[in-house]
């Protein structure tokens, strides 16, 4: 199983976050004989934005592969999977609520001449 996330963050000139989002997916590769059912239990702090339930990780949007039975997802964050053979995406999701970015960007502009501006970017890992 692999989790892929694409983080989009828009900073202002002072380095403060203006807008941010995460687009992610859970990808699985299965070569189990007989395709037994699997159960994937996600973090308890996970919640859907449309349910208005408390949680520290709010998914604005998510969708599941056709082999996923997600009827237990809202109650106990469980996904029952009847995996097809091979590689498939179990779940796609999007997060747009506030989250702590894994880095901070500090841009510096220097005017060397009327026709030349140098941009230096410092990335600080948090």
**Is 96's pLDDT higher than 70?**
yes
Residue range 35-42: average pLDDT?
88
| Environment class of 1 (CB within 10 Å of its CB; exposed 0-12, middle 13-18, buried 19+) | exposed
Name the pLDDT band for 90 (thresholds 50, 70, 90).
very high
**Is 30's pLDDT higher than 80?**
yes
What residue spans define the domains of the chain?
Answer: 2-100
Distance CA 126, CA 79 (A): 32
pLDDT at residue number 80: 92
What pLDDT digit, counting tens, does each position of 61-89 carry? 889 999 998 888 878 889 999 998 899 99
Distance CA 42, CA 78 (A): 6
- CB-based contact 28:3 (threshold 8 Å): no
CATH number of 2-100: 2.60.40.1170
Does the reported pTM lie above 0.85?
Answer: no
Name the pLDDT band for 55 (thresholds 50, 70, 90).
low
């Amino acid at each position: 199983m692999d989790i892929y996330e694409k983080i989009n963050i828009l900073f202002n000139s002072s380095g403060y976050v203006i807008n941010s989002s995460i687009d992610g997916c859970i990808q699985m590769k299965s070569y189990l004989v007989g395709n037994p059912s699997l159960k994937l239990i996600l973090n308890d702090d996970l919640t859907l934005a449309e349910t208005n339930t408390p949680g520290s990780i709010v998914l604005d949007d998510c969708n599941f592969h056709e082999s996923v039975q997600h009827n237990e997802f809202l109650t106990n964050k469980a996904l029952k999977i009847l995996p097809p053979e091979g590689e498939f995406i179990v779940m796609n999701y999007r997060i747009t609520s506030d989250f702590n970015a894994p880095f901070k960007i500090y841009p510096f502009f220097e005017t060397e001449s009327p026709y030349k501006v140098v941009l230096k970017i410092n990335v600080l890992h948090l």
